[in-house]
Each structure stands twice: as structure tokens, then as C-alpha cells.
Amino acid sequence: MNVSVFGAGYVGLVTGVVLAELGHQVTLIEPVKEKLQVINNGRSPIFEAGLEALLQRVMDQGRLHAKATAERDLADADIIFIAVGTPPLPDGEADLRYVRQAALSIGGGMTGKKRQVIVNKATVPIGSANLVEVWIQDGFRDLHGRVPPTEWYAVASNPEFLREGTAIYDTLYPDRIVLGADEAWAIDRLKELYAPIIQQSFAPPFKDEEVPLVTGVPVDVTDRISSEMIKYAANAFLAMKISFANEMANISERVGANVVDVMHGIGLDRRIGAKFLNAGVGWGGSCFGKDLSALTLTAQEYGYHPRLLQATMAVNRDQRLLVVKKLQEELKPVKGRRVAVWGIAFKPGTDDLRDAPAISVIEELLRLGVRVTAYDPIAMDNLQRERPDLEIQYANSAEEALIDADALILITEWDSFREIPLETIAARLSRGIVIDGRNLWDPNEADRVGINYRSIGR
């Protein structure tokens, strides 16, 4: 099939590359010149495992092209994805300006040559598929003075559930594919597009890849509004699980329980499930915070007070700064001390800094007069570029960050940090204080090597 994808970010680029790998002909539409140039040089503008190799392969095979505008290609597209960003506005509402721009272009490029499915893959407030339809009509009307015939197109919702860091894997082996549309032909076309994934009939793209034992992927077909709501509900539930684990951690600490054991114990219950129960510095990233805020606003617009959503966000806000409170308890006063911060990306495996807990922690440390040396294996360039205002030092290695530091705060649990012996950490820190925001180390081991060790909920 011919597929156009608006937006070559974490979602659009991965979706486009994977669909091309599955044999479709894909055009990416990306207005940011620098990104486009990087992609057209066969490079990935984002850090995502396996993405660059796959991108190069599908480009060499002529199955993926990236352009700044794609009016001519749009007429030939069987399916057009909208995968642009929907960042939060200051009041928490989702900013739909990029979705609108994309929908206007789609309307402007519509010729009726082919019946087309326009798919919202971006996370958009409930009811946005209706807006997309209106904007497509506006784009067409601007050129032709009338709205396009309804039989030319259908607007569908197909929310994305990939996780940064494992995005290609998640796209090839998803737990489910959610499709929301009112027209049966649009659902059929999307099922055809995803057939190799639904049937798991594709050849795994990487030789040494670990392939899960999936024989087929469930397709969840629903209406557009429910589909949009599924995405928000899924993210709200996942964020709530983490906030719940953190609340249990805070109670565990007070009563002398070990939250890791507690979460293990409850996770064995299949009604609860073991995942997303890690206590720590809390959740971050481009999605949870913005999606919870947007869903809260939607609920309020309709006269409902979403207490669980608000508590989920409040617990997370406090949790982020808990590591700083623990540092203050161990290092008095903190003013003028040097602290190493390990991990800046919002989670391991990505260079994404959107709503990263590390940034909240660094800002708070600086506010308290702490001198900060930060290290992250991937995300340091992004932090330097995005936050030149942060007066911190950057180290060339995790070990280097410890030089002259009184304490270490671990925020992002990159695998490479696990490989550094605790003895090395103990020897380099002048006061041997470690605040482990991800429960990465064994408290007994830390004790054995003489580290003054604090973690979360243990």
C-alpha cells in the first residue's frame, strides 16, 4: 500500500520505517529541515535501538522517502497517518496546531483519485477525530470552494502504544492494535495494512533479535471516540500503577517494609500483574504528564472531577523531589556541595528529555545552591542544547562525574551504571553518600562497601 506519514518524530519515524520494512511504500512528511536532512542522509534524528539500521535498509530499497511537503504523493496514498506532536499548552490542554496543519494539508491534497483513510496516530483529546474531519474539509474548501465528497475518505483513530527505547519491537510485537472508525471499509483497509503484524507473518528484521512467542496480535475494533479514550485510559492507568507503587514505598519506609518485596508480592496476583510497579523517582516522558493533564481537562469540561487522575499526578510531583529531601537528610547543609547526577533521559534507552524527572531534580538542587555534575550516556547533548540555562557541569563518564562529589543521586537506571562496582563509587565519593532513585543496588552490598545508602521504600 502507499502510506504517507505526517511527522517524523518518535512515533512517525518508527511507524514509517516499520511499515516500509513490512513492504509498504512510505512517504514521511517532516517540516523541520534539519531532521529531514538527517533522515535523507540515512541517519536517525533520534536515539532508538535498531532504528537507524532499519531506516537505511528501507531507504536503500526505495521503500521510504522523506519530504518537507508531499502534496503530489498524498493523492496516491491509500492511508495517511497523522503522527505529529500534541505537546501540552501552559494550562495542560493538548496543543492541536500541528494536527490542524497536517489535516489542512491533507484536505488541500485530496483529489478523489483514491479512497483514503486518514488515521490519527497522535494522542489527541477525545473528539479530535471530528476536528480532523472538519480541518480536512477546510483544507479542501480553501482550494475548491466546497467540501470533499464523504465517500472519498474516512477519518480513523489508531492510537500508538510504543515505548521509547523499545519502539521497533513494540511496533512489530504489540499487545494489541486498536482501530476506531465508523466505516467498515476503513477498518478493513487498516487490517490489511497491519496484516503482517496481526498474523505475525513477517520475517524478523534483525538476525539476533529475540522474538517473542506471539502467534497473532488481537485487533480491537471500536468507534473513534472510544479509541481515543482507550489511549488516555491506558496511559492514566499505567501512570497510576507507578504512583501507587510510590505511595506504597512511602508507607513501606515508615513501617519498615521493603517496597520491592511488597510489589513483588502483589505483582504475582494475575489481577494486578508485575509490570509498572517499580517505586522510584516517578514517571516522566512526553506522554504520561501531558495525557493525564489533557484527560483531566476533558473530564472537567464535562463537569466531572477526576480525583484519581489528580492524585496520580500529585503523588508523582512529590516523588520526584524525594531524592533531594533524602540528600538533605544525609548532607547538611547541601549548599555549596558537589553532587553527581547519573542519568538525565526520562528513562533508559532514549535521548528524550521531555518531562524528565532528572531535570526537576537538577533544578531543585541548583535552587538549593548545590553544584551539580551530570552524566548520561546518550542524553547530555540534548540537555546542553535544550537547557543552556542550567549551570551544571557535564562529565565524560559516569566515573568522572564522581570526582570531587560528596554524593551521588541516581535518576535513570542505564544498564552501564550497573557495571560500575560499588567499591569504585565508594572510593570516589568524598562523603560516600548514594541516593538511589531507582532501587538499582542492593542495600546490603552498599553497606558492605561503606556507602551511606538511601533508596526508595526500603
Nearer to ligand NAD among residue 281 and residue 353 (C-beta): 353
Which range, of 26-34, 180-188, 199-207, 238-246, touches ligand NAD by CB under 6 A? 26-34
Pairing verdict, β 177-180 and 219-222:
parallel
Compute the distance between CA of residue 332 and CA of residue 173 in angstroms, rounded to an integer.
Answer: 49
User: Total residues at the site for ligand NAD (CB under 6 A)?
Assistant: 26
Q: How many CB atoms lie within 10 A of CB 202?
A: 14
Cβ–Cβ under 8 Å, residues 246 and 456: yes
Min dist. Cβ of residue 164 to ligand NAD (A): 5
As a whole number of angstroms, the distance between CA 39 and CA 17 comes to: 11
HSE-CB at 145 with a 13 A cutoff on CA atoms is 0
Q: If binding is defined by CB under 6 A, does position 98 make contact with ligand NAD? A: yes
Catalytic residue among 82, 156, 287, 446: 287
Q: Which is nearer to ligand NAD, 10 or 453 (CB)?
A: 10
- Nearest 10 degrees: CA dihedral of 341, 342, 348, 354? 20
CB of 132 or CB of 451, closer to ligand NAD: 132
Residue from 12, 108, 180, 343 in contact with ligand NAD (CB under 6 A): 12
State the minimum distance, in angstroms, from the CB of residue 84 to ligand NAD.
Answer: 4
List of residues 6+ apart from 176 with CB closer than 8 A? 161, 217, 218, 219, 220
Residues 282-311 that bind ligand NAD (CB under 6 A): 286-287
Residue with cell 533531594: 324
By rule CB under 6 A, what string of x and - marks binding of each residue 153-172 to ligand NAD? -------x-x-x--------
Which residue in the set 3, 20, 29, 245 belongs to the binding site for ligand NAD (CB under 6 A)? 29
Contact between 31 and ligand NAD (CB under 6 A)? yes
Q: Which of 59, 96, 122, 372 binds ligand NAD (CB under 6 A)?
A: 122
Work out which of 56, 101, 250, 452 binds ligand NAD, going by CB under 6 A: 101
Q: In the complex with ligand NAD, which residue's Cβ is closer, 7 or 174? A: 7
Region label for 165, one of left (φ > 0), alpha (ψ between -120 and 50) or beta (otherwise)? left
Residue least distant from ligand NAD (Cβ) = 9
List, as one string, the DSSP characters of 129-186: HHHHHHHHHHHHHHHHSSPPPGGGEEEEE------TTSHHHHHHS-S-EEEE-S-HHH
Among 24, 35, 65, 241, binds ligand NAD (CB under 6 A): 35
Neighbours of 31 (CB within 10 A): 17
CB of 17 to ligand NAD, least distance (A): 13
Q: Which is nearer to ligand NAD, 176 or 448 (CB)?
A: 176
CA 27, CA 238: separation in Å to the nearest integer?
33
Residue pointed to by grid coordinates 491534497:
109
Specify whether 287 is catalytic. yes
Q: Which residues are catalytic?
A: 287
Positions in the binding site for ligand NAD (CB under 6 A):
6-12, 29-32, 35, 83-86, 98, 101-102, 122-123, 160, 162, 164, 286-287
